[in-house]
């Protein structure tokens, strides 16, 4: 059966890569993934998955970011012009772009496979010798580009979905594909979790494309994520008082002075003896060129610690610095956390299972499980993993390792597509392995 799965993906490899290039060319950013979602839905449906999308699968009540009605409408019109799958487009035109595809193969465990839908809000390069331009699949939409590799993740998951549909008579359980919107806004998981999609999942997987520096030599896929940090971001808004800088400088309460004090001291937060720390000032804005003393200034920082305790240490320290810097210069400061994720930790049992299945049954692909590697950032998939673990399920975030050119999240990012069918095979073989037994496996 593993051979059949691998042959299916090999047969479809060109098509899988064509899907990737099509998603890439028609990139869509957070909350506007209408064409992408409707194409994903129509493909899954054509392979026998029951598909749900739109508000029935997406909680839209607690969004930190939403596209404007004008953006939604004009994007809908754009998608309509570019999208053959119009039956599904209507259901996602309000920005509820999540897609759930379920292959119900009777009694047995539920395997969840997660994948992001959105591109990055940057304009892709038009440089003639940039490969996506040269080969005609660069994004045709300024301000939207798949330079985080979610197009690879999408194509791999679809390739896996198609291969599994062909062996469905040999599966015992359910395969649930969870296509998540707004990853780049960090709010996709918050849209999906309240709808209960993770409540019955026994095994949860995700995949993301990365460059070789995050893998180990020779590996095509890492079946776990690198050890990650607990990350956070804070925005601090300083408010002061303007006055004539020459006639009455004593009356000015200058936010820039307070912000400067804060910046210097943020960089002076001590290291932590029990793990690594990161602190960076990301964004500072106050005043206008040739203007007077500004009354308001905004600063954003990012910070990360090896554990939640270390992150809290950084948070408390940063809050004290903001408060004291403001007070020192007679201004006020309101601080709020804009983002915060716990570290991603993959379950060894599941990551090792993927490694052993792939290495025994998927020729030509090297899968490695290596715990405790480079420390790295994190994302909101971690909440989906935690949800699955609440009822005893297992979860792992995996990486497709590719030769990457350019820098992620910029206007130029390209990678070797041959990893996409490899990933599809490994996922399909692993899901088959988890669902091949007719008896329900004991709850992990």
* Site residues (vs Zn ion, CB under 5 A): 148
Distance of closest approach, residue 224 Cβ to Zn ion, in angstroms: 17
Distance of closest approach, residue 150 Cβ to Zn ion, in angstroms: 6
By beta carbon distance, the residue nearest Zn ion is: 148
With beta carbons less than 8 A apart as the criterion, state whether 98 and 189 touch: no
Distance of closest approach, residue 333 Cβ to Zn ion, in angstroms: 32
Spatial separation of the C-alpha atoms in residues 140 and 417, rounded to whole Å: 20
Residue 184 is labelled as binding a ligand: yes
Bridge pairing between strands 296-305 and 230-239: antiparallel
Distance of closest approach, residue 244 Cβ to Zn ion, in angstroms: 49
Closer residue to Zn ion (CB): 57 or 148 = 148
Structure tokens at 58: 């997406």
Distance of closest approach, residue 184 Cβ to Zn ion, in angstroms: 7
Closer residue to Zn ion (CB): 257 or 399 = 399
Residue 150 is labelled as binding a ligand: yes
Distance of closest approach, residue 149 Cβ to Zn ion, in angstroms: 6
Distances (CA, A) of 256 to 6, 146, 248, 267, 278: 60, 37, 17, 17, 24
Residue 409 is labelled as binding a ligand: yes
Spatial separation of the C-alpha atoms in residues 305 and 342, rounded to whole Å: 9
Spatial separation of the C-alpha atoms in residues 146 and 27, rounded to whole Å: 6
The helix or strand, by DSSP H or E, that contains position 389, with its residue range, turns out to be: helix 381-390
Distance of closest approach, residue 115 Cβ to Zn ion, in angstroms: 10
With beta carbons less than 8 A apart as the criterion, state whether 101 and 161 touch: yes
Strands lying side by side in the sheet with 230-239: 277-286, 296-305, 230-239, 332-341
Residue 148 is labelled as binding a ligand: yes
Nearest to 346 by CA among 153, 206, 190: 206
Distance of closest approach, residue 406 Cβ to Zn ion, in angstroms: 15
Closer residue to Zn ion (CB): 148 or 335 = 148
The dihedrals phi and psi of 292, each to the nearest 5 degrees, come to -95, -165
Task: Compute how many other C-beta atoms are within 10 angstroms of the C-beta atom of residue 377.
Answer: 14
* 3-state class (DSSP) for residue 366: coil
Residue 75 is labelled as binding a ligand: no
With beta carbons less than 8 A apart as the criterion, state whether 282 and 302 touch: yes
Closer residue to Zn ion (CB): 83 or 139 = 139
b/e map of 339-376 (b: 16 or more CB within 10 Å)?
bbbbbbbbbeebbbbbbebbbebbeebbbbbeeeeeeb
Closer residue to Zn ion (CB): 41 or 148 = 148
Structure tokens at 77: 């019109």
CA 329 to chain centroid: 40
Nearest to 132 by CA among 420, 413, 349, 418: 413
Closer residue to Zn ion (CB): 132 or 297 = 132
Distance of closest approach, residue 209 Cβ to Zn ion, in angstroms: 8
Distances (CA, A) of 308 to 163, 303, 314, 380: 40, 11, 10, 15
Spatial separation of the C-alpha atoms in residues 423 and 442, rounded to whole Å: 27
Per the annotation, binding residues are 148, 150, 184, 208, 409
Give the residue numbers of the binding site for Mn(2+). Answer: 148, 150, 184, 208, 409
């Amino acid at each position: 059966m593993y051979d059949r799965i691998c042959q299916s993906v090999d047969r479809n490899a060109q098509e899988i890569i064509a899907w990737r290039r099509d998603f890439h060319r028609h990139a869509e950013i957070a909350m506007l993934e209408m064409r992408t979602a409707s194409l994903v839905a129509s493909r899954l449906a054509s392979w026998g998955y029951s598909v749900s999308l739109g508000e029935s699968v997406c909680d839209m009540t607690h969004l930190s970011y939403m596209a404007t009605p004008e953006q939604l409408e004009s994007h809908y019109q754009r998608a309509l012009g570019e999208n053959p799958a119009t039956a599904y487009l209507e259901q996602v035109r309000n920005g509820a772009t999540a897609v759930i595809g379920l292959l119900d193969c009777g009694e047995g465990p539920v395997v969840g496979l997660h994948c992001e839908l959105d591109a990055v809000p940057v304009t892709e390069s038009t440089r003639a010798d940039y490969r996506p331009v040269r080969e005609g699949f660069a994004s045709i939409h300024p301000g939207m580009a798949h330079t985080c590799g979610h197009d690879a993740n999408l194509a791999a998951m679809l390739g896996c979905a198609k291969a599994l549909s062909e062996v469905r008579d040999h599966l015992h359980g359910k395969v649930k594909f969870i296509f998540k919107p707004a990853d780049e806004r960090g709010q996709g998981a918050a849209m999906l979790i309240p709808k209960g999609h993770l409540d019955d999942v026994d095994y949860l997987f995700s995949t993301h494309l990365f460059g070789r520096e995050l893998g180990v030599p020779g590996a095509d896929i890492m079946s776990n994520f690198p050890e990650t940090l607990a990350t956070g971001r804070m925005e601090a808004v300083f408010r002061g008082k303007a006055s004539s800088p020459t006639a009455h400088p004593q009356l000015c309460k200058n936010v820039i002075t307070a912000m400067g004090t804060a910046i210097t001291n943020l960089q002076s937060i001590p290291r932590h003896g029990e793990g690594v720390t990161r602190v960076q000032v990301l964004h500072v804005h106050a005043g206008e060129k040739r203007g007077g003393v500004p009354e308001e200034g905004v600063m954003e920082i990012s910070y990360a610690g090896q554990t939640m305790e270390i992150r809290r240490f950084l948070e408390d320290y940063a809050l004290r610095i903001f408060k004291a810097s403001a007070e020192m210069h007679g201004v006020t400061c309101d601080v709020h956390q804009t983002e915060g994720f716990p570290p991603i930790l993959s379950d060894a049992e599941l990551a090792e299972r993927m490694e052993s299945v792939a290495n025994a049954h998927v020729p030509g692909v090297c899968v490695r499980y290596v715990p405790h590697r480079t420390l790295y950032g994190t994302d909101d998939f971690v909440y989906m993993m935690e949800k699955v673990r609440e009822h005893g399920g297992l979860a792992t975030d995996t990486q497709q390792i590719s030769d990457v050119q350019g820098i992620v999240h910029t206007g130029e990012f390209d990678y070797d597509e041959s990893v996409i069918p490899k990933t599809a095979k490994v996922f399909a073989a692993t899901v088959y392995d988890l669902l091949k037994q007719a008896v329900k496996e004991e709850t992990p």
